Amino acid sequence: MNETFYTLHHFLLHTESVTYLIMLLSLLGLFGFWFFLTARDDDQ
Amino acid sequence: MSGEIITGKKTVMTPFNVIAGMVVLMGLIITAIRFTKGLGAATNLSDYNPWGIWIGFDLLVGVALAAGGYVTSAAVYIFGMKKYHFAVRPAVLTGFLGYLFVVVALHYDLGRPWRLAYPFIVGWGTTSLLFEVGLCVALYLTVLFLEFSPAPLEWLGFKKTRYLAVRLTMVLTIFGVVLSTLHQSSLGALFLIAPSKLHPLWYSPYLPVFFFVSSIIAGLSMVMFEGMLSHRAFHDKMDEEHLSESDSLTLGFGKAASLVLAGYFTIKIIGVAAGNHWNLLTTPYGIWFLVEMIGFIALPCFLYAVGVRDKNLMLIRFTAAWTVLGIVINRLNISVIAFNWHLPASDRYFPHWMEIGISVFIVMLIILFYRFIVTRMPILYEHPDYKGEEQ
Residue B19 burial (C-beta neighbours within 10 Å; 0-12, 13-18, 19+):
exposed
ipTM of the complex model: 0.90
Mean pLDDT (chain A) is 88
Largest CA distance in chain B: 66
* A33 contact B CB<8A: yes
pLDDT tens profile A1-44: 567 889 999 999 999 999 999 999 999 999 999 999 998 886 54
* B270 contact A CB<8A: yes
The 8-class DSSP code of residue B235 comes to G
B114 versus B391: the higher-pLDDT residue is B114
Distance from CA of B245 to the nearest CA of A (A): 14
Answer whether residue B390 shows pLDDT above 80. Answer: no
pLDDT tens profile B97-125: 999 999 999 999 998 889 888 888 888 88
pLDDT > 90 fraction of chain B, expressed in percent and rounded = 78
Nearest to A2 among B259, B279, B305 (CB): B279
Phi, psi of B33, rounded to the nearest 5 degrees: -65, -45
Q: How far apart are CA B357 and CA B354, in angstroms?
A: 5
Q: How far apart are CA B278 and CA A22, in angstroms?
A: 13
Rg (CA), chain B: 21
> Minimal Cα distance from A43: which residue of B?
B309
Q: What is the pLDDT of residue B244?
A: 83
* B282 contact A CB<8A: no
CB contact under 8 A, B269 and A1: no
Q: How far apart are CA B164 and CA B151, in angstroms?
A: 13
Answer whether residue B1 shows pLDDT above 60. Answer: no
Answer whether residue B241 shows pLDDT above 90. Answer: no
Overall pTM > 0.80: yes
Q: How far apart are CA B36 and CA B176, in angstroms?
A: 37
